[in-house]
Structure formats: structure tokens, C-alpha cells
Amino acid sequence: MKKNAVRFVCSSCGHAEAKWLGRCPSCGQWNTLTEESVSPREGKKPPSRRTAHQAETLSRIPEDAVKRLDTGIPELNQVLGGGMVPGSSVLIGGQPGIGKSTLLLQVSRSVRCSGTVLYISGEESPRQIAMRARRIGAASDTIKVLCETDVTSLLRHMEAIQPALVVVDSIQTLICEELGPVPGTVNQIKYGSHEVSDWCREHQVPLFLVAHVTKEGSIAGPKVVEHMVDAVLYFEEAEGGIRLLRAMKNRFGPVNELGIFSMEERGLIGVDNPSSLFLQNREGGLPPGAAIAPVYEGSRVLLVEIQALTVPAKSGISRTFADRIDSRRVSRIAAVLEKHVGLRFSDQDLYVNVAGGIRLDEVGIDLPLAVALYSARTGLAAPEGTVFAGEVSLAGEVRPVPQAEMRSRAAEKLGFSARIGPGRDGGDEKGKNLRGLKDTLAELFSAKQN
């Protein structure tokens, strides 16, 4: 192989080409091929430590009860579906400084395991890790810190220590010399993640992997890394030092489960009662353009405030600005209001926000979003003490949403006495049949219009 040879590798699937292409021929993604230098020794095949396995009859494989390992952090246990499963691998991604390393240090200190926790760091020195651990009260004799990036050396240390829990911070620092001298490439990430997770799976040891994220918010590296692991968790940042941990994939539990933490001096602290965390405290009633929605996230209900603002479009071109709600959903609800309610939005700029910074993506926010847009356009405030939940169809119908009873109970606990939205039988709590979005809004705002 020539010196200083280069190739172009797809950052999405890992496919390699000798020349640059605008579209990856393997996965079909555009502008994902990036240039990489190829070392002369990269053509060598990395040593394999895998042992031969025999095929087994599926019906004869014994069924073992899965005994989960308590992480010592209730919010994390909930996101994982009750705790860590022995031999499972969990990938955690998030923006720099959001708290990934802090959370895993707290897990290393609080986990209920009968053995040593091996904390592998390729980005910080042992003294830096010790300083953070003492600050958050996570320093412990049961934690061993190893600052190493070579995969072969890591596996030797893991064989010698035989840890009960392994943390790798981060997978972008793992390197195998046979694959080249540069860490963070697609092949380096794939090989390092596979070897470490395979060792942990064979020895029934839980594994946490920390991953960097791209500017778009997705985990850096090929998607195949997310397919290798058993669970993928994403850290998001909300307002007021709130951190949201969301499960995007989980082979041993529910997906879209949400953990809520508060970043404090002593580390990440789980929020005990998050139902009213995202509600605005104000004197008087709601202003025009605001609506309260009971949002079902995982196994809990959160009450959030959806805010909308409409202003005349500049240069006659209508635009939609929405950070925490998909702008396509906002445009769709505005189109339904214009078609079936007769309220014009095509000449308006639409601004939509969610108080508290939480991202919403469920069908139950259609009705509160419609109420907020209607309120903002007409200048009429929604009734005080009312929450909204319902799916809005393109035909202008309001349809029921899952977990309607749980949403109602959560709203009642916080002092909301009414809920506008269909139940399983197509009616609201008072037994009135909802005939459509137009009739619902007319009934809701009739007193204020008079």
C-alpha cells in the first residue's frame, strides 16, 4: 500500500471508496463521505480473540430470569427499565459538558455490585477524574481508574481485574494499531466498541459507553455502533439546569422513557416530582397564545405549557419557527385551522415554544397546539384551569390519545379541574361528544367571544 494513501469513508455506515462521491452507494446518504489517511499497516487484519460457538436448538435453550443490577440512581433505573442487565451494553450520548461523565461516576459509586468498577478514560488524567469524584462525593475504593486507549491493552486489563461493571469514556478514543494510528475513525470506533462489548457480554458484565455527538445532535460515528449495543440513551439540556435522559433504544425495557435530573454542585440529582416542573408560575390567568398540555413521556405524565405567537409575515412569505416541536406539525395544525375553522395563517409568521425547554413529539399535543395558535391569532386567552390532550386529523376531527385517564389524574393532582379532549368513547369527561375541532374551539372560547 502506498505511503500517504487516502480513502473516503461514509460516516453513517462505514462504507469506503477510493474516491469522493456525493452520495454513499451503500446507505444512500448524501455528503457523508469524509477523507481519511490510510496507514500501510491498516491492511492487516486485527487479531481475533473470539472462540468458536455451536448452534443450539431454540426451543431447548433454558429460560433464565433476568436479574437486573441496581444503579443506585432511581431516574436512571427507570430509563433502563428497572436497572442494568448483566452482559448488556449501554451507549450514552450528549453535548460536551452536559453531565455524561458525572453521571457515570455517580453510577460507579452507587451501583449495587459485588466487585470492582473499572472506569476507562481516554480523555482525562487520573487526577482530573479524582478531582471530579471528590467534588461530587463519588470517590471510592471500589473504583479503579484506567487511562488507556489501546483496545488490546484494555482487554488484558479487563481479564486481569475481572470487573463487575465497565465504563468507557469515550468510544471515540479507542484505537487498534492494526487499523491505523488515528483514533476516532469509523473502523476504529466499530472495532473498539465491538471488542469491549463482546468481552462484557461473554463475562456477563454490564457496560456503559460514552459517545460524542455531532452538531446535529446525533451520536458521532456510524449507525452500526448503535445497532451493536443493547440500549441508546441521549442527554438533552432544558432550562434552569435541568437534564433530560431519554431512551431511544432498549432491548430490555421500554423506549422513549424519560429521566429528569437537576445539575447541582454535588452532581446530577433526580427530580422527585417532575409533573409541574415545566409549568410557568405567574399571577393571574394564562395570556393569549398559551395552553397547558398533559404530555405522556414513557411511564409518567408531565404538564407543560405550549406557547404560540403570530405576527404578520414579512415580504408576504409565511415562515414557521419552532425549536421544541417539529415545525411540520405546527404547519399542519395551522393548515387544519385555516381550512376547517376559517382562521387565516397563510399571511402570518408562526413562533411556537415549549416552556422549560423540553422537546415534544407525540400525537397528544395536537389539540393544545391548535388551542395555542387559535388563542394567539384571535387574542383570546384559554380558560384558566383547563388542560388539553387530543390528536387532530386532517379532516378537522379531534381523536382520543393513549393513557387519557392517567393524564386526567395527573392534571387533577395539580389543581386542574377540566380536560378538553376525547376519551376512549369519543367523549370528554362530562360525557359530551366532541364533534370536531371547530365545535371544540367554539365551545371553549364562546364565553370570551361574547
Q: pLDDT for 401-424, tens place per residue? A: 888 888 888 888 888 877 787 754
CA pair distance 298, 69, nearest whole angstrom: 21
Q: Is 14 a domain residue?
A: yes
* Amino acid occupying residue 34: T
Task: Please check if 101 is assigned to a binding site.
Answer: yes
CA pair distance 247, 295, nearest whole angstrom: 16
Q: Is 155 a domain residue?
A: yes
CA pair distance 337, 396, nearest whole angstrom: 8
26-59 exposure pattern, b = at least 16 Cβ within 10 A, e = fewer:
eeeeeebbeebebbeebeeeeeeeeeeeeeeeee
Q: What is the pLDDT of residue 300?
A: 86
Residue 327: pLDDT band (50, 70, 90) is very high
Task: Please check if 287 is assigned to a binding site.
Answer: no
Same domain, 103 and 26: no
Q: Is the pLDDT of residue 203 over 80?
A: yes
Same domain, 33 and 108: no
Same domain, 31 and 160: no
Same domain, 323 and 445: yes
Residue 176's CATH number: 3.40.50.300
Q: What is the pLDDT of residue 287?
A: 92
Q: For 274-288, 373-387, 418-432, which range has the lowest pLDDT when averaged over its residues?
A: 418-432
Express each pLDDT in 261-316 by its tens digit.
999 888 999 987 787 788 877 777 789 999 999 998 878 889 999 999 999 998 77
Q: Is 369 a domain residue?
A: yes
And the C-alpha cell for 413?
393532582
Q: Beta strands 117-121 and 165-169: pairing type?
A: parallel
**Mean pLDDT, the chain, integer:** 85
352-370 exposure pattern, b = at least 16 Cβ within 10 A, e = fewer:
bbbbbbbebeebbbbbbbb
Contacts of 244 (CB under 8 A, 6+ apart): 235, 236, 237, 238, 258, 259, 260, 261, 358, 359
Q: Is 362 a domain residue?
A: yes
Same domain, 192 and 110: yes
Q: Is 15 a domain residue?
A: yes
Same domain, 426 and 370: yes
Report, as an integer, the average pLDDT of 107-117.
89
Q: For 206-215, 296-305, 344-353, 425-434, which range has the lowest pLDDT when averaged over its residues?
A: 425-434
Q: What is the pLDDT of residue 427?
A: 43
Q: Is the pLDDT of residue 317 over 80?
A: yes
Residue 11: pLDDT band (50, 70, 90) is confident
| Torsion region of 55: left, alpha or beta (phi above 0 gives left; psi -120 to 50 gives alpha) | beta
Using the 3D structure, point to which of 243, 272, 301 is the last residue of a domain. Answer: 272
Same domain, 352 and 409: yes
Domain of residue 19, residue span: 5-40
CA pair distance 188, 186, nearest whole angstrom: 6
Total domains in the fold of the chain = 3
Q: What percent of the chain has pLDDT over 70?
A: 89
**Cα-based angle 112, 115, 121 (whole degrees, multiple of 5):** 95
Short-list 232, 190, 181, 194, CA closest to 210: 232
Q: Is 278 a domain residue?
A: no
And the C-alpha cell for 438?
371547530
And the C-alpha cell for 274?
417532575
Same domain, 331 and 206: no
Same domain, 294 and 188: no
Same domain, 109 and 145: yes
CA pair distance 161, 154, nearest whole angstrom: 11
Task: Please check if 98 is assigned to a binding site.
Answer: yes
Same domain, 99 and 234: yes
Q: What is the pLDDT of residue 96?
A: 87
Report, as an integer, the average pLDDT of 61-89.
88
Same domain, 228 and 345: no
Q: For 154-163, 347-356, 402-411, 417-426, which range has the lowest pLDDT when averaged over its residues?
A: 417-426
CA pair distance 321, 329, nearest whole angstrom: 11
* Strand, coil or helix: 404: helix
62-77 exposure pattern, b = at least 16 Cβ within 10 A, e = fewer:
eeeeeebbebbbebbb
Using the 3D structure, point to which of 272, 304, 319 is the last residue of a domain. Answer: 272
* Strand, coil or helix: 60: helix
Q: Beta strands 242-250 and 231-237: pairing type?
A: antiparallel
Express each pLDDT in 218-263 by its tens digit.
666 667 788 889 999 998 888 778 899 999 899 998 887 889 999 9
Q: What is the pLDDT of residue 431?
A: 41
Q: Is 52 a domain residue?
A: no
Q: What is the pLDDT of residue 222?
A: 60
Q: Is 284 a domain residue?
A: no
Task: Please check if 253 is assigned to a binding site.
Answer: no
Q: Is the pLDDT of residue 429 over 70?
A: no
Task: Please check if 379 is assigned to a binding site.
Answer: no
Q: Is the pLDDT of residue 426 over 50?
A: no
Task: Please check if 61 is assigned to a binding site.
Answer: no
Q: What is the pLDDT of residue 419?
A: 79
CA pair distance 145, 17, nearest whole angstrom: 39
Residue 398's CATH number: 3.30.230.10
Q: Is the pLDDT of residue 136 over 70?
A: yes
CA pair distance 428, 419, nearest whole angstrom: 7
Contacts of 71 (CB under 8 A, 6+ apart): 77, 80, 83, 84, 107, 110, 111, 112
User: What does residue 44 show for φ and ψ, rounded to 5 degrees?
Assistant: -75, 150
CA pair distance 324, 337, nearest whole angstrom: 21
* Amino acid occupying residue 398: V
Q: Is the pLDDT of residue 49 over 80?
A: no
